[in-house]
Amino acid sequence: MQDWALGRTYRSEAGEVRWDVYGDEHANPVVLLHGTPFSSYVWRGVARALATTHRVYVWDMPGYGTSEMSDGQDVSLAAQGRVFKELLAHWGLDEPYVVAHDFGGAVALRAHLLHGARYRSLALVDPVALAPWGSPFFRLVGANAEVFEQLPPALHGALVREYVSSASHRGLHPAVLDALVRPWLGDAGQPAFYRQIAQADQRYTDEIQGRYGELTLPVLICWGDSDTWIPAAKGHELAALIPAARLRLIEGAGHLVQEDAPAELTAAITGFLG
% of residues, the chain, pLDDT over 90: 95
Q: What is the mean pLDDT of the chain?
A: 96
| Nearest residue to 64 (alpha-carbon basis) of 158, 199, 155, 209 | 199
109-146 residue pLDDT tens:
999 999 999 999 999 999 999 999 988 888 899 899 99
Nearest to 220 by CA among 249, 241, 245: 245
Return d(Cα 84, Cα 59) in angstroms, integer: 10
With b for 16 or more beta-carbon neighbours within 10 A and e for fewer, the 48-71 pattern comes to: ebbbeebbbbbbbbbbbbbbbbee
Give dist(CA 117, CA 6) in Å, integer.
24
pLDDT at 238 over 70: yes
The answer to whether the CB of 42 falls within 8 A of the CB of 259 is yes
Angle at 177 between CA 46 and CA 205, to 5 degrees: 65
Q: Answer whether residue 24 shows pLDDT above 60.
A: yes
User: What are the residues facing 17 on neighbouring strands?
Assistant: 10
Instruction: Name which of 271, 64, 272, 87 is nearest 182 in CA terms.
Output: 64
Give me the amino acid identity at 42.
Answer: V
pLDDT digits (tens, 9 = 90+) for 154-168: 999 999 999 999 999
Angle at 144 between CA 141 and CA 145, to 5 degrees: 70
Per-residue pLDDT of 63-104, as tens digits, reads: 999 999 999 999 999 999 999 999 999 999 999 999 999 999
Task: From 91, 5, 7, 98, select the one nearest 44 (Cα to Cα).
Answer: 5
